[in-house]
Amino acid sequence: MTAKYATTCGVCSNRVSPGEEIARAGTGWGHVACADAAPAAGRPAATAPARAKKPARPDMPAPDGALEVWTDGACSGNPGPGGWAWATQDGRRGAGGESPTTNQRMEIRAALEAVRSLDGPLVVVSDSTYVVNCFRDRWWKGWIDRGWVTSAKKPVVSRDLWEPLITLVNERGDVSFRWVKGHSGDAMNDLVDALAVEQAQAVA
């Protein structure tokens, strides 16, 4: 099902925009991917207080000599016109847009295009917990083991983007992911955000 109103994911605490796919996550609602990794409804954790506040999970280890690439996606309307972008500190960039699309698809597309475009060890820096957690927490393995179905028995959303990204990352073996909080003063995150918004406006 899709969200009718803007709300907050009960798992990752990030924004859920109207039109985004949602699913039951514990006793609430959240992003489909977050719900996939959360305890099923009616199945409380063994120790509720421990579940209430988890310690921060460590970042994925960065490959030796890795190049950092920042990625971001943007969408107006969700679904609506959207854009994606990636950039490195040495000036390399990529960006594009399409319509209609969703914010989550643009986040995945940005990471996919970055990994496709850049050779050598990489750290993909993204403000999307959906993208980062897929690799850090190995959500992709469960999806593949179940035949691209989530634990909620729903087809994985945006498989057409996830499958080539997951395949490429696993084939390369030299790509890791790191989360950065959006709009927190990170100059490179702000740059790719602006580039993605610009692309979304261009296809509106």
Is residue 14 helix, strand or coil? Answer: coil
Question: How far apart, in Å, are the Cα atoms of 136 and each of 17, 79, 114, 154?
Answer: 24, 27, 18, 22
Instruction: Answer whether the bond into residue 100 is a cis peptide, omega within 30°.
Output: yes
Structure tokens belonging to residue 172: 């390369």
Burial letters 54-84, b for 16+ CB under 10 A, else e: eeeeeebebbeebbebbbbbbbbbbbbbbbb
Residue whose structure tokens are 């940005």 = 110
Cβ atoms of 106 and 77 within 8 Å: the answer is no
Residues of the chain with CATH 3.30.420.10: 67-202
Mean pLDDT, rounded, for 116-131 = 98
d(CA 193, CA 182): 9
d(CA 98, CA 131): 19
Residues with catalytic annotation? Answer: 72-73, 107, 127, 183, 193
pLDDT score at 29: 75
Mean pLDDT, rounded, for 169-197 = 98
pLDDT score at 28: 73
Q: What topology is assigned to 67-202 in CATH?
A: Nucleotidyltransferase; domain 5 (3.30.420)
Decide which of 50 and 158 is more confident: 158
Q: Answer yes or no: is pLDDT of 139 > 60.
A: yes
pLDDT score at 46: 43
Is residue 112 helix, strand or coil? Answer: helix
Kindly report the pTM of this predicted structure. Answer: 0.76
Residues 6+ apart with CB under 8 A from 77: 19, 100
